[in-house]
């Protein structure tokens, strides 16, 4: 098995482990996805199957950023998601990091969302 296949297998294993823990919660899920160039965040109500908030660095709010895939962009996205969620009455969520390791961009996003009022 080559290195890339092993990395993908570990990511899938982490993702499934996280999803099992999250299933037990009744709070909406803050799901994070990322690529090398952009970040995507959604707040999802799994019981109803609805997306309550969806935002990414591709939206018009982030047109002033030169690099939309770095830590600074992640911090700004966390701030915007928290502001929109609080305006819709969502105060507490469960963080779904989607198999990504909790450091760097993912940690910056989570810390920024917490600083701006979201609880998880």
Averaged pLDDT for residues 53-77: 93
Q: What is the pLDDT of residue 22?
A: 85
Q: What is the pLDDT of residue 65?
A: 87
| pLDDT tens readout for residues 64-74 | 889 999 999 99
- Give the confidence band of 9 by pLDDT, cuts at 50, 70, 90: very high
Radius of gyration of the chain (CA): 14
Write down the pTM of the prediction.
0.88
Mean pLDDT check: name the lowest of 49-53, 61-65, 75-79, 115-119. 61-65
SS (H, E, C) 34-66: ECCCCEEEEEEECCCCEEEEEEECCCHHHCCCC
- % of the chain surpassing 70 pLDDT: 100
Contacts of 7 (CB under 8 A, 6+ apart): none
Mean pLDDT check: name the lowest of 18-32, 78-92, 94-108. 18-32
Q: How far is residue 55's CA from residue 117's CA, in Å, rounded to a whole number?
A: 17
Q: How far is residue 97's CA from residue 1's CA, in Å, rounded to a whole number?
A: 26
- Give the confidence band of 24 by pLDDT, cuts at 50, 70, 90: confident
């Amino acid at each position: 098995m080559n290195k890339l296949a092993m990395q993908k297998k570990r990511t899938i294993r982490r993702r499934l482990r996280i999803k099992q823990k999250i299933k037990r919660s009744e709070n909406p899920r803050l799901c994070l996805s990322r690529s090398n160039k952009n970040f995507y965040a959604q707040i999802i109500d799994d019981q109803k199957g609805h997306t309550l908030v969806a935002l990414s660095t591709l939206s018009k709010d982030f047109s002033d950023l030169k690099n939309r895939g770095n830590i600074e962009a992640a911090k700004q996205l966390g701030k915007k998601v928290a502001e929109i969620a609080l305006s819709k009455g969502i105060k507490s969520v469960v963080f779904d990091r989607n198999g990504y390791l909790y450091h760097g961009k993912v940690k910056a996003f989570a810390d920024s969302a917490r600083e701006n009022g979201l609880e998880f």
